[in-house]
A = this chain, B = another copy of it.
């Protein structure tokens, strides 16, 4: 039986599906009496949000930092990932003595709706049918994701975040939250992101979706019921995307034309070059920990993101009268969200006399730099959060915290 077959062959996929349906993370469930209204018109009933927290919320509830994850991230920012067994995706940034210092701040990271690690998404059971949503899941937006995050803040009794921080799609959520719920955000850090998705980025996402949908094992989105996984399609999507997360220079430095465990060219279609081997590894490794339909929905949400359009084409209007303090960060070699798109955000903030600092970090690591330990980047985030905490009247960092020079 194919169900058993694919599951037996891919035990990590099975673990991932288990986490999607019964996450080990904390969960907050909206009752059916409070459905989430969606930008697309519909509602999501009985919504679950799976989240992780690090550190302690202080008595004044003034030290909370919301971390927003990117396309393929999840709530496991700073703990060991329950499927891969690897450190969380931002464990360099979040932790005791790290820029987002968990000895000082209460850090919260929730799996976005549409995701596949426990929050309601296309792999969840549709209460109306008793089977996985598949493509019956409504197309969601960054606005919807943020509306769900705000519900979680309400649930936790956090009226105003000390800060919200995120890179890439996480940065889109930062901008959305600061624009539409400005009173809930004291400070906002938007990293390697854009206020609207570019034509080229929509194009790359479309290639990824077409690759997934081209896989016959996708089954029109019903693969979970069929007991199969569109591994090849999702792996191809990830390979294409992965190239865009790096830079030409990073690939050249890391791999160049070096051969993979061989003396010479083999005159065949095996992975002769290290870069080919690396890409295949990245592609198929991704399938273990991610859901194909979530990939479709989340890329779509990013494509739809256009904060300019939400304010009649004038981005500055998104931030009119804002009291939030902003930090905008870009990386020189990021060609997916190039510095000029960060500058547009900064210009809009300047136009409304917002408090904004902007740093372009010199790095040859491409878009992925936001996930890496880049000293200047870490110093920027650390310094900005310290200043925000001080301004909000938090006690200084304990001298015995495991602080380190960044």
Question: Given the complex, which residues of B lie within 8 Å of A233, measured CB to CB?
Answer: 214
Interface digits, A14-34 against B, CB 8 Å rule (1 contact, 0 not)?
Answer: 000000000000000000000
CB distance from A264 to the nearest CB of B (A): 10
Inter-subunit contact A300/B203 (CB<8 Å): no
User: Is A84 an interface position by the 8 A CB rule?
Assistant: no
- Contacts A198-B252, A199-B275, A204-B243 supplied; 19 other A-B pairs, CB < 8 Å: A135-B269, A198-B251, A199-B248, A199-B251, A199-B252, A199-B255, A202-B257, A202-B273, A202-B276, A203-B239, A206-B279, A207-B240, A210-B232, A210-B239, A214-B232, A214-B236, A216-B216, A248-B335, A269-B296
CB distance from A276 to the nearest CB of B (A): 4
User: Is A197 an interface position by the 8 A CB rule?
Assistant: yes
A198-B251, A248-B335 as given contacts; A236 in contact with B257, CB under 8 Å: no
User: Is A130 an interface position by the 8 A CB rule?
Assistant: no
Tell me, in angstroms, the Cα distance from A135 to B338 when the chains sit together: 41
From 263 to 306 in chain A, residues with beta carbon under 8 angstroms from any chain B beta carbon are: 265, 267-269, 271-273, 275-276, 279-280, 283, 296, 300, 303-304, 306
Nearest residue (CB) in B for A277 is B206
When all copies of this chain in the complex are counted, the total is 2
Inter-subunit contact A200/B269 (CB<8 Å): no
Inter-subunit contact B200/A273 (CB<8 Å): no
Question: Given the complex, which residues of B lie within 8 Å of A273, measured CB to CB?
Answer: 199, 202, 206, 303
> B-contacting residues of A (Cβ < 8 Å)?
39-41, 135, 138-139, 196-200, 202-204, 206-207, 209-211, 213-216, 232-233, 235-236, 239-240, 243, 246, 248, 251-252, 254-257, 265, 267-269, 271-273, 275-276, 279-280, 283, 296, 300, 303-304, 306, 309, 335, 338
Inter-subunit contact A251/B210 (CB<8 Å): no
Tell me, in angstroms, the Cα distance from A105 to B139 when the chains sit together: 58
Tell me, in angstroms, the Cα distance from A271 to B300 when the chains sit together: 11
Question: Given the complex, which residues of B lie within 8 Å of A276, measured CB to CB?
Answer: 202-203, 206
